């Protein structure tokens, strides 16, 4: 695990970093409404924390309707242009090395907070930025 993040949430974001991608992987169908499915390669490796020569991809999915690969970067705190740069490298690797998908590779960044400029920059590169929100409630 990494260092606790600073800013909104502090220690809470550190804890979410550890489990957010696991939550998404375990609830993939519900979260993505059946539009995406986690990729599974010929060896049975599932597209959650998917290993590549350039590093681990948080989530590698396939669009059900089009067969396009979708590379998903999960950021429990702030998403930055640096995260976009990393995602673009992962998208390029997938486009050049993966079989079974179309040549169209899309990217998603799932984050709690984002830099304003990220939306404008992301649109240029076929990347969608999605913010998440969790609810927590105690009841008697």
- pLDDT category, 3, cuts 50, 70, 90? very low
How many angstroms separate the CA atoms of 31 and 33, rounded?
6
pLDDT of residue 116: 85
pLDDT of residue 32: 93
Spatial contact of 58 and 79, defined as CB atoms under 8 Å apart: no
Residues with Cβ within 8 Å of residue 22, at least 6 apart in sequence: 48
Per the DSSP assignment, residues forming a β-bridge with 121 are: none
Distances (CA, A) of 25 to 41, 59, 66, 129: 16, 8, 21, 18
Assess whether pLDDT exceeds 80 at residue 2.
no
How many angstroms separate the CA atoms of 129 and 109, rounded?
5
The pTM for the full model equals: 0.82
Kindly state the average pLDDT of the residues 122-133: 89
What contacts 24+ positions apart, CB below 8 Å, involve 125-133?
Answer: 125/84, 125/88, 125/91, 126/91, 127/84, 127/87, 127/88, 127/91, 129/79, 132/20
pLDDT of residue 59: 97
User: 44-102: per-residue pLDDT in tens?
Assistant: 999 999 999 999 999 999 999 999 999 999 998 899 999 999 999 999 999 999 876 65
CATH topology assigned to domain 11-131: Trna Endonuclease; Chain: A, domain 1 (3.40.1350)
User: 23-43: per-residue pLDDT in tens?
Assistant: 899 999 999 999 999 999 999
Assess whether pLDDT exceeds 70 at residue 20.
yes
Question: Where do the domains of the chain lie?
Answer: 11-131
Name the range with the highest mean pLDDT among 16-30, 70-84, 101-115, 123-137. 70-84
Residues with Cβ within 8 Å of residue 122, at least 6 apart in sequence: 84, 107, 109, 128, 129
- pLDDT category, 16, cuts 50, 70, 90? low
């Amino acid at each position: 695990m990494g260092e606790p993040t600073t800013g909104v949430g502090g220690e809470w974001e550190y804890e979410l970093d550890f489990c957010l991608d696991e939550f998404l992987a375990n609830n993939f169908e519900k979260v993505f409404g059946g539009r995406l499915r986690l990729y599974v390669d010929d060896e049975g490796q599932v597209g959650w924390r998917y290993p590549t020569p350039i590093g681990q991809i948080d989530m590698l999915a396939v669009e059900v309707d089009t067969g396009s690969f979708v590379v998903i970067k999960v950021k429990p705190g702030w998403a930055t242009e640096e995260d976009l740069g990393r995602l673009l490298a992962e998208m390029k690797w997938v486009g050049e090395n993966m079989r079974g998908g179309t040549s169209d590779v899309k990217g998603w960044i799932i984050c709690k907070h984002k830099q304003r400029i990220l939306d404008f920059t992301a649109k240029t590169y076929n990347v969608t930025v999605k913010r998440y929100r969790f609810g927590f409630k105690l009841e008697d």
